[in-house]
Amino acid sequence: MSDVLAALPYAVAAWVLLAGCYGIATSRNFIHIIVCLSLVQSSTYLLLLLVGWSGHATAPVFGDVQPGVRVVDPVVQALTLTDIVVGAAVTALLLALTIQLAKRLGTIDPDRIRSLEEDLEE
Amino acid sequence: MIADVLLGVLLLATGATATAVALTREPTRQALVLSAYGLVLGVLMVALQAPDVALAQVGVGTAIVPLLVVLTVAKVDRELEHDDEEGDR
Amino acid sequence: MTRERASRLLFAVGAAGAAVLFALALGGLPHVGDVPHPYGARAVSSAVGRHTANAISSVNFDQRALDTLGEEFVLFGAAVAALLLLRRMRDEDDRAGVGQAGPGDVWSAVNLAGFALLAPTVLVGLYVVAHGAISPGGGFQGGAVLATGLHLAYLAGDYGVLERLRPLAVFDVAEAVGAAGFVLLGVSGLFVGDPFLANWLPTGTLGSLTSAGMVELFNVAVGMEVASALILLLSKFLEQALLVHERDHE
């Protein structure tokens, strides 16, 4: 039983990643794909924070606690922190590309885009 | 003990909300579910002793990204409608 | 079998394989919470040694500032590319902003709440940026809070007020100053004989506002850049969604 419970955190991170991949694979709308991509990125944040977590430790900020108290790992939190904000900017870039796609090709269905490209080449 | 139960509940809630985000097909509704997912993930991050990261997650993933998605949907819908009208003419 | 069913089947096979690999890999990791973290212990002791109370800010802006420089420029590049993609094309017009988009049709409670929370949120954003070295916060989070706080004016229903509160030229310059400022602050270390991005200002007592040396200045530069980049991105998206439309051919 405790083995199952110990596997739950990593299992949730893997589940979120696979759910996002399922959304991307079976999608008919580029905006839906972009949101699922953001979901996949968030699963990596979860995994990083889980790796750095420690049972009876507190946050690595020494405002109220004195140095010397057990704290969780700050390195993975630093990685995750910048990743979140930069990931949002890249999501904005992808959404801008989708707007251009709608203007130029008149559709945001990934299946139809493949066939429209064939039309354009003629 | 209670901390473990809390963590377990938050992890399951994160998994459930993430599934809901992937399964919601309509982009405007999906943006709202993404916002809720961002909030749940932020609370989980606080439970994992990462307040800095939770602040960034709630500020960016819950407020800004869903707003960008909704604005994109509005623009794309207008473009596609305009194209349909031009095609019908 | 239709193409859609075939693609779902292919995904199921791929996902099953990935799940097996995850189970093997993550099952081989130590249980969550049990592990000693050698890098973490060293990073924390180093942060305390440099009198920075927020160990994460110390890792981001002092011990591994080069990575943050790269991340900041990824943000800058993505924002500039998105702004370029959303520029107004030759065959597009825009409706006059202020006259067309007056106070929207929102509940007066939302209107009141939005405008009442605008100034406190911006103030909290500035606080988060300024206190990045001594409490949870910093340039990245504070910039996000600032950008969101400013757009409470739009969420409260009035795009015209948002336009007046948001001089775009100022934010254009602020974004560039933030990005360049980070590099120039790093170069300033070279003039005193320290490495690039070194923390060469004197550090005070742990927990006071000026305790961490250069970390606060880096925080301010990053905060300026992140807030400006997000405000510019949101402004272009709002403009495209609300104002820009293809010129009608007569």
Residue C94 is predicted with a pLDDT of 63
Residue C34 is predicted with a pLDDT of 74
Residues of chain C contacting residue A72, judged by C-beta atoms under 8 Å apart: 37, 40
- pLDDT confidence of A94, banded at 50, 70, 90? very high
Calculate mean pLDDT across residues B60-84.
89
- φ/ψ of B53, rounded to 5, equals -65, -40
CB contact under 8 A, B76 and A31: yes
- φ/ψ of A54, rounded to 5, equals -140, 145
Please determine, for residue A81, whether its predicted confidence score (pLDDT) is greater than 60. yes
| Interatomic CA distance for residues C11 and C23, integer angstroms | 18
Tokens of B67: 């707003």
Angle between helices A30-52 and B27-47 (to 10 degrees): 0
Please determine, for residue A116, whether its predicted confidence score (pLDDT) is greater than 70. no
Residue in chain C closest to B57 (alpha carbons) equals C141
Among C22, C81, C140, the residue with its CB nearest the CB of A82 is C140
Calculate mean pLDDT across residues A75-86.
92
Tokens of B82: 């305009």
For residue B75, the one-letter residue type is K
Please determine, for residue A48, whether its predicted confidence score (pLDDT) is greater than 70. yes
| Interatomic CA distance for residues C27 and C21, integer angstroms | 10
| Interatomic CA distance for residues B77 and B74, integer angstroms | 5
- pLDDT confidence of A121, banded at 50, 70, 90? very low
Residues of chain C contacting residue B78, judged by C-beta atoms under 8 Å apart: 241, 245
Q: How many CB pairs under 8 A join B and C?
A: 47
Which chains have 3+ CB pairs within 8 A of C? Answer: A, B
Please determine, for residue B88, whether its predicted confidence score (pLDDT) is greater than 70. no
Q: Within an 8 Å CB–CB cutoff, is residue C75 touching chain A?
A: yes
CA-based nearest residue to C122, from C83, C165, C159, C177:
C165
pLDDT in tens, chain C (250 residues): 687 888 889 999 999 999 999 888 887 888 887 778 888 889 998 888 888 888 999 899 988 889 999 999 999 999 999 999 988 777 666 655 444 555 667 788 888 888 899 999 999 999 999 988 888 988 999 999 999 999 888 888 777 788 888 888 999 999 999 999 999 999 988 888 888 888 888 777 777 777 778 888 999 999 999 999 999 999 989 888 887 766 654 3
Token match 């579910």: residue?
A: B33
| Interatomic CA distance for residues C151 and C132, integer angstroms | 23
